[in-house]
Homo-oligomer: A and B are copies of this chain.
Amino acid sequence: MATQVQTHVNGVNVDQLVGTINLIKENPGLARFTFRSKTEWVNGGHSRTQIQSFYGAGQEDTSRSQPFVLEGDEPPVLLGNNAGANAVEAVLHALASCLAVGFIYNAAAQGIKVDSLDFDVEGNLDLHAFLGLSDQVRPGYEGIRVNYRVKADAPRERLEALCDYVQKTSPVLDIIANPVPVTITMQS
Protein backbone atom coordinates (compact mmCIF):
# COMPACT_ATOMS: atom_id res chain seq x y z
CA MET A 1 0.00 0.00 0.00
CA ALA A 2 1.37 3.42 -0.97
CA THR A 3 1.98 5.86 1.82
CA GLN A 4 -0.50 8.72 1.83
CA VAL A 5 1.66 11.84 1.70
CA GLN A 6 0.05 15.00 2.96
CA THR A 7 1.43 17.82 0.85
CA HIS A 8 -0.82 20.59 2.18
CA VAL A 9 -0.39 21.87 5.74
CA ASN A 10 -2.24 25.04 6.82
CA GLY A 11 -3.31 25.51 3.20
CA VAL A 12 0.33 25.65 2.12
CA ASN A 13 1.63 23.26 -0.52
CA VAL A 14 4.68 21.96 1.30
CA ASP A 15 6.01 20.15 -1.78
CA GLN A 16 5.95 23.43 -3.68
CA LEU A 17 7.59 25.20 -0.73
CA VAL A 18 10.43 22.68 -0.61
CA GLY A 19 10.68 22.79 -4.40
CA THR A 20 10.97 26.60 -4.36
CA ILE A 21 13.69 26.48 -1.72
CA ASN A 22 15.63 23.91 -3.74
CA LEU A 23 15.29 25.92 -6.96
CA ILE A 24 16.65 29.02 -5.22
CA LYS A 25 19.55 27.04 -3.76
CA GLU A 26 20.49 26.05 -7.31
CA ASN A 27 19.85 29.47 -8.84
CA PRO A 28 20.10 32.25 -6.24
CA GLY A 29 19.00 34.93 -8.73
CA LEU A 30 15.46 33.51 -8.63
CA ALA A 31 15.12 35.01 -5.13
CA ARG A 32 15.30 38.56 -6.47
CA PHE A 33 11.91 40.30 -6.52
CA THR A 34 10.78 43.79 -7.42
CA PHE A 35 7.32 44.81 -6.19
CA ARG A 36 5.46 47.86 -7.49
CA SER A 37 2.50 50.09 -6.85
CA LYS A 38 0.80 52.97 -8.63
CA THR A 39 -1.00 55.56 -6.53
CA GLU A 40 -3.21 58.36 -7.78
CA TRP A 41 -4.49 61.20 -5.65
CA VAL A 42 -8.30 61.43 -5.76
CA ASN A 43 -9.34 64.39 -3.58
CA GLY A 44 -8.43 65.79 -0.16
CA GLY A 45 -6.78 63.03 1.86
CA HIS A 46 -8.06 60.32 -0.48
CA SER A 47 -5.77 58.44 -2.83
CA ARG A 48 -6.08 55.11 -4.62
CA THR A 49 -3.36 52.53 -5.14
CA GLN A 50 -3.30 49.81 -7.77
CA ILE A 51 -1.03 46.81 -7.30
CA GLN A 52 -0.68 44.20 -10.00
CA SER A 53 2.61 43.35 -11.70
CA PHE A 54 5.89 42.39 -10.13
CA TYR A 55 9.15 40.81 -11.15
CA GLY A 56 10.30 37.68 -9.37
CA ALA A 57 11.57 34.14 -9.81
CA GLY A 58 13.34 35.27 -12.99
CA GLN A 59 10.37 36.76 -14.82
CA GLU A 60 7.50 39.22 -14.87
CA ASP A 61 4.55 37.74 -13.00
CA THR A 62 1.30 37.49 -14.96
CA SER A 63 -0.88 35.74 -12.39
CA ARG A 64 -3.06 38.76 -11.62
CA SER A 65 -5.61 39.57 -14.30
CA GLN A 66 -6.85 42.61 -12.38
CA PRO A 67 -5.03 44.99 -10.04
CA PHE A 68 -5.75 45.03 -6.32
CA VAL A 69 -7.16 48.42 -5.42
CA LEU A 70 -6.36 49.94 -2.01
CA GLU A 71 -8.00 53.17 -0.91
CA GLY A 72 -6.19 55.50 1.46
CA ASP A 73 -7.84 58.39 3.27
CA GLU A 74 -7.92 60.12 6.63
CA PRO A 75 -10.76 60.21 9.17
CA PRO A 76 -12.64 63.51 9.60
CA VAL A 77 -10.57 64.49 12.66
CA LEU A 78 -7.58 64.44 10.30
CA LEU A 79 -9.50 66.31 7.58
CA GLY A 80 -10.48 63.32 5.46
CA ASN A 81 -13.68 61.46 4.63
CA ASN A 82 -12.90 57.89 5.72
CA ALA A 83 -12.72 56.54 2.17
CA GLY A 84 -10.14 54.04 3.47
CA ALA A 85 -7.70 53.28 6.24
CA ASN A 86 -4.94 55.86 6.51
CA ALA A 87 -1.32 55.32 5.62
CA VAL A 88 -0.02 54.55 9.09
CA GLU A 89 -2.88 52.11 9.66
CA ALA A 90 -1.93 50.38 6.39
CA VAL A 91 1.55 49.88 7.88
CA LEU A 92 0.01 47.92 10.79
CA HIS A 93 -1.87 45.72 8.31
CA ALA A 94 1.32 45.11 6.34
CA LEU A 95 3.18 44.07 9.49
CA ALA A 96 0.57 41.60 10.75
CA SER A 97 -0.02 40.20 7.27
CA CYS A 98 3.72 39.56 6.94
CA LEU A 99 4.03 37.91 10.36
CA ALA A 100 1.02 35.70 9.51
CA VAL A 101 2.59 34.45 6.28
CA GLY A 102 5.90 33.84 7.99
CA PHE A 103 4.34 31.95 10.86
CA ILE A 104 2.07 29.82 8.68
CA TYR A 105 4.67 28.92 6.05
CA ASN A 106 7.28 28.00 8.63
CA ALA A 107 4.75 26.04 10.67
CA ALA A 108 3.79 24.15 7.50
CA ALA A 109 7.44 23.40 6.74
CA GLN A 110 7.79 21.95 10.27
CA GLY A 111 4.53 19.98 10.01
CA ILE A 112 2.79 22.07 12.68
CA LYS A 113 -0.93 22.38 12.02
CA VAL A 114 -2.28 25.79 12.99
CA ASP A 115 -5.93 26.03 14.05
CA SER A 116 -6.07 29.78 14.47
CA LEU A 117 -3.73 32.72 14.45
CA ASP A 118 -4.54 36.36 15.01
CA PHE A 119 -2.84 39.63 15.81
CA ASP A 120 -3.73 42.86 17.55
CA VAL A 121 -1.37 45.61 16.51
CA GLU A 122 -1.16 49.19 17.70
CA GLY A 123 1.22 52.05 17.21
CA ASN A 124 1.39 55.49 18.74
CA LEU A 125 2.54 58.69 17.14
CA ASP A 126 2.51 62.40 17.76
CA LEU A 127 1.24 64.65 14.98
CA HIS A 128 3.48 67.60 15.86
CA ALA A 129 5.98 66.73 13.14
CA PHE A 130 3.42 66.00 10.42
CA LEU A 131 1.71 69.32 11.15
CA GLY A 132 5.01 71.20 11.05
CA LEU A 133 4.77 72.20 14.72
CA SER A 134 7.98 70.56 15.93
CA ASP A 135 11.13 69.06 14.51
CA GLN A 136 11.93 67.53 17.91
CA VAL A 137 9.31 64.80 17.49
CA ARG A 138 9.62 62.09 14.85
CA PRO A 139 6.84 61.99 12.24
CA GLY A 140 6.32 58.22 12.39
CA TYR A 141 5.42 55.70 15.05
CA GLU A 142 7.29 56.02 18.33
CA GLY A 143 6.61 52.34 18.90
CA ILE A 144 4.50 49.46 17.64
CA ARG A 145 3.15 46.63 19.79
CA VAL A 146 2.01 43.30 18.36
CA ASN A 147 0.01 40.75 20.34
CA TYR A 148 -0.22 37.32 18.77
CA ARG A 149 -2.63 34.54 19.66
CA VAL A 150 -2.05 31.10 18.20
CA LYS A 151 -3.67 27.69 18.57
CA ALA A 152 -1.72 24.83 17.05
CA ASP A 153 -0.82 21.18 17.58
CA ALA A 154 2.60 21.88 19.03
CA PRO A 155 3.97 22.56 22.50
CA ARG A 156 4.16 26.15 23.60
CA GLU A 157 7.99 26.17 23.47
CA ARG A 158 7.97 25.20 19.79
CA LEU A 159 5.46 27.93 19.00
CA GLU A 160 7.56 30.48 20.85
CA ALA A 161 10.67 29.36 18.97
CA LEU A 162 8.71 29.70 15.73
CA CYS A 163 7.57 33.18 16.74
CA ASP A 164 11.21 34.15 17.40
CA TYR A 165 12.33 32.73 14.08
CA VAL A 166 9.58 34.56 12.19
CA GLN A 167 10.75 37.83 13.73
CA LYS A 168 14.25 37.28 12.33
CA THR A 169 13.01 36.65 8.81
CA SER A 170 9.96 38.89 8.37
CA PRO A 171 10.41 41.36 5.50
CA VAL A 172 7.97 43.95 6.87
CA LEU A 173 9.27 43.74 10.43
CA ASP A 174 12.76 44.38 9.03
CA ILE A 175 11.47 47.31 6.94
CA ILE A 176 9.91 48.90 10.04
CA ALA A 177 12.55 48.04 12.63
CA ASN A 178 15.59 48.88 10.49
CA PRO A 179 16.40 51.69 8.02
CA VAL A 180 15.51 51.22 4.35
CA PRO A 181 17.00 53.65 1.82
CA VAL A 182 14.21 55.48 -0.02
CA THR A 183 14.86 57.59 -3.12
CA ILE A 184 12.18 60.10 -4.05
CA THR A 185 12.22 61.87 -7.39
CA MET A 186 9.80 64.42 -8.79
CA GLN A 187 9.51 63.89 -12.52
CA SER A 188 9.48 66.87 -14.82
Contacts and interface: CB of A to CB of B under 8 A. Distances in A.
A84 B128 CA distance: 34
Given A118-B41, A180-B177, A182-B144, A70 B88 contact: no
State how many copies of this chain the complex holds. 2
Contact of A163 (B10, B49, B184): B184
A177 B177 CA distance: 9
Nearest to A119: B39
Given A47-B96, A74-B101, 16 more contacts: A31-B128, A31-B133, A34-B122, A35-B124, A44-B104, A45-B101, A63-B75, A90-B93, A140-B171, A142-B181, A144-B182, A145-B185, A147-B187, A148-B186, A177-B180, A178-B179
A85 B129 CA distance: 30
A106 to B, nearest CB: 8
Contact of A130 (B94, B102, B177): B102
Contacts of A44: 10-12, 104
A13 B88 CA distance: 21
Interface of A: 10-13, 16-17, 20-21, 24-25, 28, 31-41, 43-47, 49, 51, 54, 56-57, 61, 63-64, 68, 70, 72, 74-80, 82, 84-106, 114, 116-133, 135, 138-150, 156, 159-160, 163, 165, 167-188
A160 B43 CA distance: 21
B138 A174 contact: yes
Given A95-B182, A131-B24, A156 B37 contact: no
A41 B70 CA distance: 19
A134 to B, nearest CB: 9
Given A77-B57, A179-B177, A132 B32 contact: no
